[in-house]
């Protein structure tokens, strides 16, 4: 089994990798998305908690949701 992180398995839950350019990448992908694909759901944190302490500092989830609202993405956004 290959792993994508260098942390030991025993350290699970003790570290967070932050993709600091996430909002920029997401906005770029959203702009490229064809209108017919904008009917699909986008999962935010389907595996992990998007509201970890790092979110308070980096505000990545907030940035992605703001981009979706600005683009008027046709799916529901939680308030």
Domain residues of the chain, as ranges? 19-42+50-79
Average pLDDT of the segment spanning 46-66: 80
- For residue 14, the model assigns a pLDDT of 83
More confident residue, 31 or 52: 31
Q: Is the pLDDT of residue 56 over 70?
A: yes
- For residue 4, the model assigns a pLDDT of 72
The 10s digit of each residue's pLDDT in 1-49 is 456 778 888 988 788 888 899 999 999 999 998 888 887 777 776 566 6
DSSP string for residues in 15-79 = -----TTHHHHHHHHHHHS-GGGTTS---SSSSS-TTSHHHHHH-HHHHHHHHHHHTT-SS----
């Amino acid at each position: 089994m290959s792993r994508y992180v260098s942390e030991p398995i025993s350290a699970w839950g003790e570290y967070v990798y932050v993709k600091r350019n996430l909002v920029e990448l997401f906005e770029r992908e959203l702009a490229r998305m064809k209108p017919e694909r904008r009917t699909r759901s986008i999962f935010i944190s389907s595996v992990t908690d998007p509201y970890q302490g790092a979110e308070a500092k980096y505000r990545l989830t907030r940035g992605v949701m703001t981009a979706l609202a600005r683009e008027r993405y046709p799916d529901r956004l939680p308030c």
